[in-house]
């Protein structure tokens, strides 16, 4: 099993490295017989992750100074095929240390983390020793930043001697963290303390012995190896704690509350401590679900629990059993909303104001999204820095799929008769960014936060939703299920996803997805023209039997009309589409067009003249750049009486407010 | 033209002037059509090419309407800009409507013939500029109240956030804002009495303004109760119509006709309630004037005994205290 994983990882690394220097370079698909057995059922899923790194840590919180003192050991195994002579440690709390960090010096508008840092944060490594016969102190040679780049989030620790493949080493460490005011994901807001990215974390080891390390960038999330986290948290009595993994030990000691959390098969550990929180617990689908919130947020907390009641069994069916015994939700106060909407293994933060009206599904949407990350990030542990679309994009698709199954078509908001679906919000909001940057791009390479948000989340989800609509939901469900199960506890790349789309859905689906994600692919179907008339004999001058005859134009045969519609496919994506013909007598016929050529003429024949033509009437191609040019009227246009009625009524109501 | 005079308070009844109320509705409907039509035309320009017309715009997942909205950002901006002008014109002319409505309700000819539509409109037009002045004054005062309330609430909110959960800070901020909103609403009630005063008082508009405000000062309870009861009642048809419309949907044909009917049945009582309120306001103004006082001597009103406020019966309830109220002469200009 381990051997197979290494072979797989090597294959993936070659894909990743090949793309490294060519931002728009899409991966070439692996041959049909991939080295991993496809898992389309839970029985074929991996039971555990390869254990590369174990952390045994102890953390003490001072909620007044907003500091955490940490110490403990890291047990790290060189699971690669090459000797490793340096370790890279992510010290991400230093992103908030000063304005010279990568995080703070790159302006990245219109995405999370836009607020100014009100109180700086930092991490100081106090001790770093390689425990062996003759202990090696790694701290003196620790390289906290690079020459010419003062960022201190990505530290290099040269080793006195290389670690051989298969060899396990133990590091002893101690450090101090000063939490920032909540800026992006982590920090404090009064007595609310969200502690994420708080310990020195070894970068992900790749199969070639390189460590996939990167500074903390505004738009980038994380990438780590699996292992076991055994963490003891020490907070003042009266503080409720939420953390990764179940509590295995709990005691009170000198005015402190101490609890130990242990969780295997995860790749991060985060925690929260808050003395104003209350908690609710409920066993859902065999999982102990716990939600911590301020009492004033009880109503939204209940909505989030309701979301979990639907989502847990739904995701189990679609993407395999949730393998952990606990799932903890934290609803941060809205003043700390930057700590909300974030995923860590078995711990998610939701968000939204306490007064959010029922019709706006933000609490439900965020809850399901963050829970979805337990699969697309947690279990399928893709490189979030290199391929952010693989976790955020797939998860956005899963979120919208789940929300629609639960709440119906108005899954993002629903007020009276006005509803907006989550997939619609994703599709429409991402359209405007399609030509700006490729979707499949390194998180740190995105120029604008809005491009990252629109493309990585919305565009990817819309491409997948289009695949589901064009080739059928069952095929797409099978593909997503196979992908999630096959790559559980693994680190797949784009090629793996595309291969599954090709093999499980359709080769054209894989090609379209590849062009859409890597090459800014786009498509706009247009109904250009439609004509019909009675068929009749050709009129004009004809030379027949040595004589020139004049054939007059006739009015044609009664009760039969022939004609055509001209439909066009603009752009670089190609999907088969339906074309709807509507005759003047109301008769409707649908023809399919393979969508392969650019512009085509589709014949019409009927007993009544052709009145309207609509390309893709059911909006299967949700990526269609402009669906308002998909219809054509040959003559009289239809009315819009309902719009007029509504507009007049709302005009009247508005006037009643404005008029004296 | 015969001179106009204020009716006895007991004779001021909105229900006696269905044509005036109908005119008020027509005015509103006409401008609503003027506001709606450019949006309609723009949408039809796109969805007229669809065999189902505007039906897809009401799809349950909102795709078509969201797409149209995103696509037509420029168009929407232009439409909103032109609508703002239409709305501004409606608001200005709305003062003539208000003046005409108040005149029709509260004034009569000295020859005891009812006011003609032309008389009423003439009175409204004659008082256009004073009414606009009153509006500006009211907007300024109400705006200042709201700004003050928001400012105080914002300060308190920021202060409370230092020490407590946002929900608590939000609630306190709301608690601070609400009295200011109520005060601003009260201002708008007083404003309506001032408007009535300006319309029914001959001569200088300032005297009419003073008359209206004094009437409010004398019987604020009656004025606020009369306004609030009607405002609350006015919400009912809108809620009912929303329920009906969401049930029916409104596919072209019978369903759409029913929705149209439901909406207009909701609008009609609201216009009538507005007229009823203006009649109520006029009764208070009329009652606050001493017997046989002419408009030329408004100062006499100061000396008049304050009539007791009476509980209101309903939308167009009687005003017993107003029964002995006076008539006064004024000429249309
Ligand atoms: Zn996410």
Nearest CA in chain A to B57: A643
Nearest residue, CB atoms, A659 vs list B46, B51, B94: B94
- Cα(A77) to centroid(ligand 1), Å: 30
In chain B, the percentage of residues whose pLDDT exceeds 90 is 68
CA–CA dist A198, A269 (Å, integer): 9
H/E run at residue B124: helix B117-126
HSE of A473 in the Cβ direction (CA atoms, 13 Å)?
8
* pLDDT at site B323: 36
Output the CA torsion sign for A133, A139, A145, A146. negative
Identify which of B255, B218, B313, B264 has the alpha carbon closest to the alpha carbon of residue B55: B255
Return the SS3 of A521: coil
Compute the average pLDDT of residues A599-603. Answer: 95
Nearest CA in chain A to B86: A655
Nearest CA in chain B to A529: B49
For an interface test with A, the pick among B166, B231, B234, B250 (most A C-beta atoms closer than 10 Å) comes out as: B166
Write out residues 585-614 of A within 8 Å (CB-CB) of B.
588, 611-612, 614
Q: What is the mean pLDDT of chain A?
A: 92
Identify which of A233, A273, A262 has the alpha carbon closest to the alpha carbon of residue A346: A262
Compute the average pLDDT of residues A401-430. Answer: 93
For an interface test with B, the pick among A292, A620, A651 (most B C-beta atoms closer than 10 Å) comes out as: A651
Of A39-53, A499-513, B89-103, B144-158, minimum mean pLDDT range: A39-53
Please check the confidence at residue A269 and state whether its pLDDT lies above 80. yes
Nearest residue, CB atoms, B195 vs list A427, A428, A660: A660
CA–CA dist A227, A35 (Å, integer): 24
Question: DSSP labels for A179-242?
Answer: PPBSSSS-EEETTEEEE-S-S-EEPEEPTTS-EE-----TT-------EEEEEEEEEETT-EEE
Inspect the interface and report whether the beta carbons of B35 and A334 lie closer than 8 Å: no
The answer to whether residues B135 and B163 touch, using CB atoms and an 8 Å cutoff, is: no
Please check the confidence at residue A548 and state whether its pLDDT lies above 50. yes
Inspect the interface and report whether the beta carbons of B58 and A417 lie closer than 8 Å: yes
Q: Would you place residue B112 in the very low, low, confident or very high pLDDT band (cuts 50, 70, 90)? A: confident
Structural domain boundaries in chain B: 15-126, 219-288
Across chain B, how many H-helices and E-strands are there?
10, 3
Return the SS3 of B278: helix
Please give the C-alpha separations between residue A561 and each of A497, A606, A608, B55, B113, in angstroms, as whole numbers.
48, 5, 6, 27, 69
Interface size between A and B, measured as CB pairs under 8 A: 205
Annotate B41-90 with three-state secondary structure: HHHHHHHCCCCCCCHHHHCCCCHHHHHHHHHCHHHHHHHHHHHHHHHHHH
Please check the confidence at residue A167 and state whether its pLDDT lies above 50. yes
Please check the confidence at residue A259 and state whether its pLDDT lies above 70. yes
For an interface test with B, the pick among A641, A656, A658 (most B C-beta atoms closer than 10 Å) comes out as: A641
CA–CA dist A313, A307 (Å, integer): 11
Tokens of A271: 């925690």
The answer to whether residues A659 and B90 touch, using CB atoms and an 8 Å cutoff, is: yes
* pLDDT at site A415: 83
Please give the C-alpha separations between residue A651 and each of A118, A641, B38, B86, B264, in angstroms, as whole numbers.
45, 15, 12, 11, 12
Compute the average pLDDT of residues B237-259. Answer: 87
Q: What is the mean pLDDT of chain B?
A: 85
Burial (0-12, 13-18, 19+ Cβ within 10 Å), A121: buried
Q: Would you place residue A27 in the very low, low, confident or very high pLDDT band (cuts 50, 70, 90)? A: low
Inspect the interface and report whether the beta carbons of B49 and A633 lie closer than 8 Å: yes
Instruction: Calculate how close chain B gets to A569, using CA atoms only, in Å.
Output: 19
Compute the average pLDDT of residues B13-35. Answer: 93
Of A74-83, A134-143, A629-638, B319-328, minimum mean pLDDT range: B319-328
The answer to whether residues B14 and B105 touch, using CB atoms and an 8 Å cutoff, is: yes
CA–CA dist A458, A350 (Å, integer): 19
Please check the confidence at residue B333 and state whether its pLDDT lies above 80. no
* pLDDT at site B183: 95
Identify which of B228, B223, B220, B219 has the alpha carbon closest to the alpha carbon of residue B308: B219
**What is the pTM assigned to this prediction?**
0.89
> Is some CB atom of chain A closer than 8 A to the CB atom of B259?
yes
- Cα(A381) to centroid(ligand 1), Å: 13
For an interface test with A, the pick among B32, B131, B138 (most A C-beta atoms closer than 10 Å) comes out as: B32
Instruction: Calculate how close chain A gets to B9, using CA atoms only, in Å.
Output: 22
Tell me the chain A residues in contact with residue B174 when contact means C-beta distances shorter than 8 Å: none
Q: Count CB-CB contacts under 10 A for residue A529.
A: 15
Please check the confidence at residue B263 and state whether its pLDDT lies above 50. yes
Compute the average pLDDT of residues B188-210. Answer: 92
Inspect the interface and report whether the beta carbons of B40 and A647 lie closer than 8 Å: yes
Please check the confidence at residue B291 and state whether its pLDDT lies above 70. no
* pLDDT at site A36: 61
Tell me the chain A residues in contact with residue B251 when contact means C-beta distances shorter than 8 Å: 642
Tokens of A585: 């007598």
* pLDDT at site A553: 86
> Is some CB atom of chain A closer than 8 A to the CB atom of B60?
yes
The answer to whether residues A229 and A262 touch, using CB atoms and an 8 Å cutoff, is: yes
* pLDDT at site A35: 53
- Cα(A370) to centroid(ligand 1), Å: 6
* pLDDT at site B290: 61
Tell me the chain A residues in contact with residue B97 when contact means C-beta distances shorter than 8 Å: 659
- Cα(A253) to centroid(ligand 1), Å: 38
Q: Count CB-CB contacts under 10 A for residue A474.
A: 10
Identify which of A423, A637, A419, A361 has the alpha carbon closest to the alpha carbon of residue B249: A419
Burial (0-12, 13-18, 19+ Cβ within 10 Å), B113: exposed
More confidently predicted of B6 and A25:
B6
Please check the confidence at residue A33 and state whether its pLDDT lies above 90. no
Summarize pLDDT for A552-588 with one digit per residue, the tens: 888 777 789 999 999 999 999 999 999 999 999 999 9
Of A38-52, A351-365, B196-210, B285-299, minimum mean pLDDT range: B285-299
Please check the confidence at residue A518 and state whether its pLDDT lies above 60. yes
CA–CA dist A25, A23 (Å, integer): 6
- Cα(A630) to centroid(ligand 1), Å: 33
> Is some CB atom of chain B closer than 8 A to the CB atom of A626?
yes
Tell me the chain A residues in contact with residue B274 when contact means C-beta distances shorter than 8 Å: 656
CA–CA dist B174, A182 (Å, integer): 26
- Cα(B170) to centroid(ligand 1), Å: 29
CA–CA dist B124, A17 (Å, integer): 80
Nearest CA in chain B to A619: B63
Please check the confidence at residue B237 and state whether its pLDDT lies above 70. yes
* pLDDT at site B4: 82
> Is some CB atom of chain B closer than 8 A to the CB atom of A198?
no
- Cα(B73) to centroid(ligand 1), Å: 29
Identify which of A173, A71, A170 has the alpha carbon closest to the alpha carbon of residue A127: A173
> Is some CB atom of chain B closer than 8 A to the CB atom of A484?
no
For an interface test with A, the pick among B26, B45, B50 (most A C-beta atoms closer than 10 Å) comes out as: B50
Nearest residue, CB atoms, A354 vs list B36, B131, B167: B167
* pLDDT at site B289: 78
Query: In b/e form, how buried is each residue of B60-91, taking b as 16+ CB within 10 angstroms?
Result: ebbbbbbbbebbbeebeeebeeebeebbeebb
CA–CA dist A484, A498 (Å, integer): 13
Please check the confidence at residue A535 and state whether its pLDDT lies above 90. no
In chain A, what are the domains? 1-48+383-391+401-521 (1.10.390), 52-225 (2.60.40), 523-642 (2.60.40.10)
Compute the average pLDDT of residues A125-145. Answer: 95
Instruction: Tell how far CA A115 is from the center of its chain.
Output: 23
First to last CA, chain A: 79
Tell me the chain A residues in contact with residue B94 when contact means C-beta distances shorter than 8 Å: 655, 658-660
Inspect the interface and report whether the beta carbons of A334 and B166 lie closer than 8 Å: yes
More confidently predicted of A205 and A105:
A205
Beta bridge partners of A383: none
Compute the average pLDDT of residues B243-263. Answer: 86
Q: Would you place residue A30 in the very low, low, confident or very high pLDDT band (cuts 50, 70, 90)? A: low
* pLDDT at site B267: 95
Please check the confidence at residue A342 and state whether its pLDDT lies above 80. yes
Q: Count CB-CB contacts under 10 A for residue A591.
A: 15
Nearest residue, CB atoms, B246 vs list A416, A427, A622: A416
CA–CA dist A292, A193 (Å, integer): 13
Instruction: Calculate how close chain A gets to B270, using CA atoms only, in Å.
Output: 9
Output the CA torsion A494→A497→A500→A506 (10° steps): -80
The answer to whether residues A545 and A583 touch, using CB atoms and an 8 Å cutoff, is: no
What is the spatial order of strands in the sheet that A561-571 belongs to?
A523-533, A561-571, A599-606
Q: Would you place residue A223 in the very low, low, confident or very high pLDDT band (cuts 50, 70, 90)? A: very high
CA–CA dist A291, A301 (Å, integer): 7
Return the SS3 of A477: helix
CA–CA dist B91, B88 (Å, integer): 5
* pLDDT at site B253: 82
Tell me the chain A residues in contact with residue B195 when contact means C-beta distances shorter than 8 Å: 660
* pLDDT at site A42: 87
* pLDDT at site B190: 95
Please check the confidence at residue B91 and state whether its pLDDT lies above 70. yes
Inspect the interface and report whether the beta carbons of B54 and A639 lie closer than 8 Å: yes
Nearest residue, CB atoms, A628 vs list B29, B68, B267: B68
For an interface test with A, the pick among B33, B57, B59, B67 (most A C-beta atoms closer than 10 Å) comes out as: B67
- Cα(A459) to centroid(ligand 1), Å: 14
* pLDDT at site B161: 93
Tell me the chain A residues in contact with residue B47 when contact means C-beta distances shorter than 8 Å: 628, 631, 638, 640, 643
Identify which of A204, A247, A199 has the alpha carbon closest to the alpha carbon of residue A57: A199
Summarize pLDDT for A272-303 with one digit per residue, the tens: 999 999 999 999 999 999 999 999 999 999 99
Return the SS3 of A396: helix
Question: DSSP labels for B238-254?
Answer: HHHHHHHHHHHTT-TTH
Summarize pLDDT for B117-174 with one digit per residue, the tens: 899 999 999 999 999 999 999 999 999 999 999 999 999 999 999 999 999 999 999 9
ipTM for the whole complex = 0.87
CA–CA dist A66, B221 (Å, integer): 55
Please check the confidence at residue A190 and state whether its pLDDT lies above 70. yes
Q: Would you place residue B2 in the very low, low, confident or very high pLDDT band (cuts 50, 70, 90)? A: low
Q: Count CB-CB contacts under 10 A for residue A89.
A: 27
Token match 């017997």: residue?
Answer: B291
Please check the confidence at residue A204 and state whether its pLDDT lies above 90. yes
CA–CA dist A321, A138 (Å, integer): 41
Nearest residue, CB atoms, B70 vs list A431, A582, A638: A431
Q: Would you place residue A109 in the very low, low, confident or very high pLDDT band (cuts 50, 70, 90)? A: low
More confidently predicted of B199 and B110:
B199
Output the CA torsion sign for A506, A510, A512, A513. positive
The answer to whether residues B211 and B289 touch, using CB atoms and an 8 Å cutoff, is: yes
* pLDDT at site B312: 39
Write out residues 111-170 of B within 8 Å (CB-CB) of A.
131, 135, 161-163, 165-168, 170
Write out residues 72-91 of B within 8 Å (CB-CB) of A.
87, 90-91
């Amino acid at each position: 099993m381990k051997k197979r994983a290494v072979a797989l990882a090597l294959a993936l690394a070659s894909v990743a490295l090949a793309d490294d220097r060519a931002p728009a370079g899409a991966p070439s698909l692996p041959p049909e017989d991939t080295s991993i057995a496809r898992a389309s059922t839970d029985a074929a899923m991996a039971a555990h992750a390869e254990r590369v790194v174990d952390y045994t840590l102890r953390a003490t919180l001072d909620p007044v100074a907003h500091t955490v003192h940490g110490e403990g050991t890291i047990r790290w195994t060189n699971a690669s095929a090459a000797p490793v002579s340096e370790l890279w440690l992510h010290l991400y709390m230093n992103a908030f240390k000063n304005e010279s960090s990568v995080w703070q010096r790159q302006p990245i508008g219109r995405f999370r983390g836009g607020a100014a840092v009100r109180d700086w944060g930092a991490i100081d490594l106090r001790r770093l020793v390689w425990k062996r016969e003759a202990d090696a102190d790694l701290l003196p040679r620790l390289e906290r930043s690079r020459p010419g780049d003062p960022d201190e989030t990505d530290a290099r620790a040269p080793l006195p001697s290389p670690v051989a493949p298969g060899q396990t080493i133990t590091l002893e460490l101690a450090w101090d963290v000063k939490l920032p005011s909540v800026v992006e994901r982590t920090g404090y807001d009064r007595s609310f303390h969200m502690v994420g990215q708080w310990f020195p974390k070894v970068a992900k080891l790749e199969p070639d012995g390189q460590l996939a390390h990167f500074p903390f960038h505004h738009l980038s999330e994380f990438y780590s190896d699996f292992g076991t986290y055994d963490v003891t948290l020490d907070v003042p009595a009266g503080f409720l704690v939420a953390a990764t993994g179940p509590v295995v030990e709990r005691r009170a000691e000198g005015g402190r509350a101490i609890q130990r959390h242990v969780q295997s098969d995860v790749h991060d550990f985060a925690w929260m401590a808050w003395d104003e929180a209350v908690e609710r617990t409920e066993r859902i689908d065999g999982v102990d679900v716990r939600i911590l919130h301020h009492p004033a947020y009880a109503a939204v907390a209940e909505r989030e629990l309701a979301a979990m009641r639907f989502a847990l069994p739904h995701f189990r069916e679609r993407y395999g059993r949730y393998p952990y015994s606990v799932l903890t939700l934290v609803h941060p106060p809205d003043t700390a909303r930057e700590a909300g909407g974030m995923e860590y293994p078995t711990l998610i933060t939701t968000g939204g104001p306490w007064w959010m009206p029922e019709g706006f599904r933000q609490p439900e949407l965020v809850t399901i999204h963050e829970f979805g990350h337990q699969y697309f990030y947690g279990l399928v542990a893709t490189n979030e820095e290199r391929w952010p679309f693989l976790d955020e994009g797939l998860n956005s698709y899963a979120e919208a799929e789940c929300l629609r199954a639960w709440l119906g078509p108005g899954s993002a908001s629903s007020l009276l008769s006005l509803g907006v679906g989550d997939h619609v919000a994703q599709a429409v909001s991402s359209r405007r960014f399609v030509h700006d940057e490729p979707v499949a791009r390194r998180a740190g390479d995105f120029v604008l936060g809005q491009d990252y948000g629109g493309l990585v989340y919305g565009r990817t989800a819309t491409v997948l939703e289009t695949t589901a609509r064009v080739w059928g939901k069952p095929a797409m469900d099978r593909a997503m299920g196979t992908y999630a199960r096959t790559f559980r506890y693994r680190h797949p790349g784009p090629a793996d996803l595309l291969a599954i789309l090709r093999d499980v859905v359709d080769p054209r689906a894989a090609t379209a997805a590849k062009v859409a994600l890597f090459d800014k692919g786009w498509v706009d179907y247009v109904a250009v023209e439609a004509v019909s008339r009675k068929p009749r004999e050709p009129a004009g001058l004809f030379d027949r039997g040595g004589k020139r005859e004049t054939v007059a134009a006739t009015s044609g045969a009664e009760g039969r009309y022939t004609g055509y519609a001209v439909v066009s496919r603009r752009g670089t994506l190609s999907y088969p589409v339906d074309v709807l013909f509507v005759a003047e007598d109301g008769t409707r016929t649908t023809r399919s067009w393979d969508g392969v050529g650019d512009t085509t003429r589709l014949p019409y024949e009927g007993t009544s003249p052709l009145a309207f033509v609509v390309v893709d009437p059911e909006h299967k191609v949700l990526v269609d750049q402009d669906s308002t040019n998909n219809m054509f009227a040959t003559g009289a246009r239809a009315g819009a009486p309902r719009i007029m009625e509504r507009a007049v009524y709302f005009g009247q109501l508005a006037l009643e407010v404005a008029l004296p | 033209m015969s001179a106009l005079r204020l009716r006895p308070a007991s004779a001021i009844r909105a229900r006696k002037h269905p044509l005036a109320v109908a005119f008020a509705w027509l005015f509103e409907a006409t401008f609503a059509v003027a506001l709606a039509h450019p949006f309609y035309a723009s949408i039809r320009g796109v969805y007229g090419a669809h065999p189902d017309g505007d039906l897809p715009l009401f799809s349950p997942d909102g795709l078509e309407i969201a797409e149209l909205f995103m696509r037509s950002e420029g168009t929407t901006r232009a439409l909103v800009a032109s609508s703002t002008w239409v709305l501004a014109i409606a608001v200005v002319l709305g003062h003539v409507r208000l003046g005409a409505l108040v005149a029709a309700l509260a004034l009569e000819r000295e020859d005891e013939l009812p006011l003609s539509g032309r008389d009423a409109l003439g009175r409204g037009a004659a008082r256009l500029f004073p009414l606009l002045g009153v509006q500006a004054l009211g907007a300024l005062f109400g705006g200042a109240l709201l700004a003050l309330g928001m400012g105080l609430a914002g300060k308190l909110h920021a202060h409370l956030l230092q020490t407590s959960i946002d929900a608590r800070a939000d609630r306190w901020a709301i608690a601070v804002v609400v009295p200011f909103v109520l005060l601003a609403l009260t201002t708008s009630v007083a404003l309506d009495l001032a408007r009535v005063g300006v319309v029914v008082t001959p001569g200088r508009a300032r005297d009419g303004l003073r008359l209206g405000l004094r009437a409010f000062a004398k019987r604020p309870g009656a004025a606020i109760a009369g306004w609030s009861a009607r405002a609350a009642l006015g919400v009912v048809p809108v809620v009912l119509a929303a329920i009906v419309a969401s049930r029916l949907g409104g596919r072209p044909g019978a369903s759409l006709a029913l929705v149209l009917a439901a909406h207009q049945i909701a609008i009609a009582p609201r216009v009538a309630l507005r007229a009823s309120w203006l009649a109520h306001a006029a009764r208070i103004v009329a009652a606050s004037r001493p017997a046989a006082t002419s408009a030329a001597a408004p100062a006499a009103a100061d000396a008049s005994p304050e009539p007791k406020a009476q509980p209101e019966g309903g939308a167009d309830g009687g005003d017993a205290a107003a029964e002995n109220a006076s008539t006064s002469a004024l000429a249309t200009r």
